[in-house]
Structure 1
Amino acid sequence: MWWRLKIAECCATGLYLGRSPVAPGTVGTLLAFPLAWIMLYLPLNLQLLCYVFLAAGLTLAASIWGVYLKDSDHRSIVCDEIIGILPLLLYFEAHLWFWAFLLFRIFDIIKPWPISWVDRAVKGALGCMLDDVLAGAIAFGILYGAALYMGS
């Protein structure tokens, strides 16, 4: 079923943004911005439901595409970046999105503990997704604390 592989590739690579020859993870992360903008028009319960379905569907796509490539965390797989940053974009106001993006990418790239531990310990598509979700959670905590401190 070639179409299943093509759909998985399209989803896992973030509509093929993961094929960017330069910084595919950063380029792929950008797809989360219009997605968040659309999701913000939904009530909170539907945003959460969409996020859960997206996370499950994109994990499946990453699994299928990763098996095909024989690398579950191939550089072209960028759907994990989308799932990792999306909660930040849905929670924080648009004027903080640059900082959300910057913090998320820093933590995703340098992978400090415990992100590095998850990256090594959890294999397959789940590990690919979880380290970015954790990078997003840490970025969320820092941005939330800064916003509280600054009174935003």
Structure 2
Amino acid sequence: MNRAAHLVATVLGSGNLKPASGTWGTLAALPLGWVVMQAGPLVFTLATIAALPLGLWATRVVVADSGDHDPSKVVIDELLGVWIALLPIAWGAASAGVTAERLWPGWIAAFLLFRLFDIWKPGPVGWMDRRGDAWGVMLDDAVAGVFAAVGVIALAGLAHL
């Protein structure tokens, strides 16, 4: 067992929490995202991009160890997805010259919209999920994160009419 891969795949063990390990993983990703955002939106964006290859590696290792193509304890994909959903908040806060936590309604929207799209799996989210490999594990949540990010932007626009 590769302990580092398991720590990454489970987002420091949050994927081991039951029930709803995906929700726990998404919740764990929020404070981690906030910490990374303190270095600025560019660093947060680069960290979000880096989560994809890191997640692919960790997912492949855990899948090989477990024999399950998408074990519920693997939640690095949730981290990737919710961080994508948080990108408008990171850049919006920097643009407005405020701290990211000042945009707290956006954090809630990012969390809820991401979980909605991740569970519902509309269109391309479901297509990615059906791949049945590590890419599918990661990409369905990435696409759900993009959908959620668009929703965050739309809700921010409505809130500032």
51, 72, 75: which one aligns with 1:75: 72
In the other structure, the counterpart of 1:134 is 143
What are the within-5 Å matches in structure 2 for residues 100-111 of structure 1?
100-111=110-121
Between the two proteins, what is the percent identity of the paired residues?
34
In the other structure, the counterpart of 2:51 is 54
- Tell me which amino acid in the other structure corresponds to 1:38: V
107, 116, 120: which one aligns with 1:97: 107
1:151 aligns with 2:151: no
23, 26, 32: which one aligns with 1:26: 23
- Tell me which amino acid in the other structure corresponds to 2:52: A
Q: How far did 1:27 drift?
A: 0.5
Per-residue CA shift, 1:44-85, capped at 9, x if unaligned?
332222222222112210111111111231111111000000
Maintained 8 Å contact 1:119/1:128: yes
**Normalising to structure 1: TM-score of the pair?**
0.89
Question: Residues of 2 paired with 1:118 and 1:55: CA distance?
Answer: 14
Return structure 1 stretches of 4+ with deviation > 4 angstroms: none
Q: How far did 1:151 drift?
A: 1.2
- Tell me which amino acid in the other structure corresponds to 1:102: L
Structure 2, unpaired ranges of 5+: 90-102
Question: Residues of 2 paired with 1:112 and 1:49: CA distance?
Answer: 27
In the other structure, the counterpart of 2:35 is 38
Maintained 8 Å contact 2:33/2:44: no
Question: Residues of 2 paired with 1:44 and 1:106: CA distance?
Answer: 25
Number of equivalent positions? 148
Structure 1, unpaired ranges of 5+: none
- Tell me which amino acid in the other structure corresponds to 1:99: A
46, 61, 64: which one aligns with 2:61: 64
Per-residue CA shift, 1:100-129, capped at 9, x if unaligned?
111110110111112111111x23111100
What are the within-5 Å matches in structure 2 for residues 106-117 of structure 1?
106-117=116-127
In the other structure, the counterpart of 2:82 is 85
**Normalising to structure 2: TM-score of the pair?**
0.84
In the other structure, the counterpart of 2:134 is 125
